[in-house]
């Protein structure tokens, strides 16, 4: 794993010291301050009262396109600047990030006047779906996991809002205090202009054959379920401003978790895990049907669902709730999440039947699995699991991989023909007490790090024995709608 301090004002070098490689030999006396035992951060959180109301109030605070965000119903966190960045690789990407985060916490000096989830020291993270990658043509050495500690965080929870500033001890190039806030002047939000869409790794005409192969393998008894994904490549006339995408997503998909971390942006309806004061929650989604009105109207017209679906949508919801194919797919996903959480919990609640979650473009079968974390006790040498370690234990669930997990992941590698990168991987944040929220990076896209005119959109579908390739293609098109809307192409 590589850890590096990121300093300086925008446009300046982001590496005032040499990159810190944690596997390197013991450092010499002239090593950067904090390198041997880990970096030391100074954190201050204060309450603020000037945050406007509305779904985009937090996003509107972001000064430039290098945005960090986790927002739902107007609450959540946004951040900018980088006080510290950890990059991890391969199968150990979660454990390495969690270990390094605990090291940072042990040395951090935190003054938190707010004491709410998300106040104090936080890091935003994004992790690859797979342990191995078939090869990133853009950057073969790109990390498969990242934790970013911002310099500035603005948060809101209900009626309370706060501002957190974070400084790295020994980073003389970084501004502090009031200079830290003024070092990031607000830049105007820009639109992408004309956007052209093209097939990704596997074309829309060819993808049903991939699905058919998955169905054949399931019917042959090799596995019970596999989730197959496809991508679409978009090229914009102007460099893509992350804030433009976030604002549109947060408005149209207010009930989803709108996120942005290290170029990965989207509005996910699926919460992999929330850990808060000993309670854990996971929202499992599997089983999908397109909303009737979504075929004729844009998300801008529909907005977030207010529960007053028309008759056609009510009929479709009933159809989804009775679909044996979708219920089977959903059961696999719920079982996998419950089994992964059980070792960490003293008690759990797994509802017997799912509910139908209404979103502007689709409806999902949904189940909220909850649990109480096992009390480690004051005398226990074991630390309670962090939200990041819980996310690692849950990933990949059957909702994004399949059942059995190993067989499904092997089949994905064999036939999907797509580098998922961080699509369908955990994305979210972790706090100083280990609590946090992690979603699955669905309804998402990845902005090119080398050319912000380019962005890859992703969608995936759960395949079982009763699946139909043409219907799965149509479902994938519906799942591409949020990012198409964000780009202004629908």
Catalytic site positions: 225, 270
Nearest Cα neighbor of 129 from 422, 337, 437 is 422
Nearest Cα neighbor of 33 from 225, 167, 216, 177 is 167
Two structure tokens written together for 483: 């990012």
273 — alpha (psi -120 to 50), left (phi > 0) or beta?
beta
Q: Using DSSP, how many helices (H) and how many strands (E) does the chain show?
A: 10, 25
Cα 333 to Cα 160, 212, 224, distances in angstroms? 35, 21, 11
Q: How many CA atoms lie within 13 A of 339 on its CB side?
A: 13
- Kind of pairing, strands 279-290 and 345-349? unpaired
Question: What does 235-288 look like in DSSP terms, one character per residue?
Answer: EESS---HHHHHHHHHHHTTTSEEEEETTEEEEES-EEEEEETTEEEEEEEEEE
Rounded Cα distance between 74 and 247, Å, is 11
């Amino acid at each position: 794993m590589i850890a590096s301090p990121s300093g300086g004002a925008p446009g300046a070098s982001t590496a005032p010291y040499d990159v810190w490689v944690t596997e390197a030999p013991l450092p010499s006396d002239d090593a950067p301050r904090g390198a041997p035992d880990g970096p030391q951060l100074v954190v201050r959180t204060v309450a603020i009262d000037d945050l406007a109301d509305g779904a985009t109030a937090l996003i509107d605070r972001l000064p430039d396109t290098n945005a960090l965000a986790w927002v739902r119903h107007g609450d959540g966190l946004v951040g900018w600047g980088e006080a510290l960045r950890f990059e991890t690789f391969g199968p150990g990407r979660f454990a390495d990030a969690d270990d390094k985060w605990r090291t940072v916490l042990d040395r951090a000096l935190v003054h938190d006047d707010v004491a709410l989830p998300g106040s104090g020291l936080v890091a935003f993270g994004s992790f690859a779906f797979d342990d191995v990658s078939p090869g990133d043509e853009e950057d073969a050495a790109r990390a498969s996991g990242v934790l970013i500690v911002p310099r500035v965080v603005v948060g809101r929870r209900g009626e309370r809002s706060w501002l957190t500033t974070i400084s790295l001890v020994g980073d003389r190039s970084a501004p502090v205090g009031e200079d830290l806030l003024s070092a990031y002047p607000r830049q105007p939000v820009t639109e992408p202009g004309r956007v052209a869409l093209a097939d990704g790794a596997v074309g829309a005409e060819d993808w049903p054959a991939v699905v058919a192969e998955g169905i054949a393998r399931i019917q042959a008894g090799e596995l019970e379920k596999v989730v197959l994904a496809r991508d679409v490549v978009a090229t914009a006339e102007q460099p893509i401003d992350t804030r433009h995408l976030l604002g549109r997503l947060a408005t149209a998909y207010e009930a989803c978790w709108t996120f942005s971390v290290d170029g990965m942006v989207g509005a996910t309806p699926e919460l992999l895990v929330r850990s808060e004061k000993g309670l854990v929650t996971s929202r499992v989604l599997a089983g999908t049907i397109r909303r009737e009105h979504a075929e004729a109207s844009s998300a801008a017209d529909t907005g977030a669902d207010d529960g007053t679906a028309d008759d056609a949508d009510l009929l479709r919801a009933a159809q989804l709730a009775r679909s044996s194919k979708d219920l089977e797919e959903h059961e696999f996903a719920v079982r996998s999440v419950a089994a992964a959480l059980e070792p960490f919990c003293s008690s759990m609640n797994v509802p017997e039947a799912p509910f139908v979650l209404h979103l502007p473009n689709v409806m999902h079968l949904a189940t909220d699995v909850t649990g109480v974390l096992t009390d480690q006790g004051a005398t226990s040498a074991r630390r309670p699991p962090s939200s990041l370690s819980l996310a690692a234990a849950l990933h990949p669930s059957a909702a994004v991989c399949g059942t059995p997990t190993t067989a499904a992941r092997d089949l994905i590698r064999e036939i999907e023909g797509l580098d998922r990168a961080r699509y369908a991987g955990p994305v979210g944040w972790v706090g100083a007490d280990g609590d946090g929220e992690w979603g699955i990076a669905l309804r998402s896209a990845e902005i090119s790090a080398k050319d912000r005119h380019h962005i890859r959109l992703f969608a995936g579908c759960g395949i079982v024995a009763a699946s139909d390739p043409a219907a799965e293609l149509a479902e994938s098109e519906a799942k591409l709608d949020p990012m198409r809307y964000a780009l202004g192409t629908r």
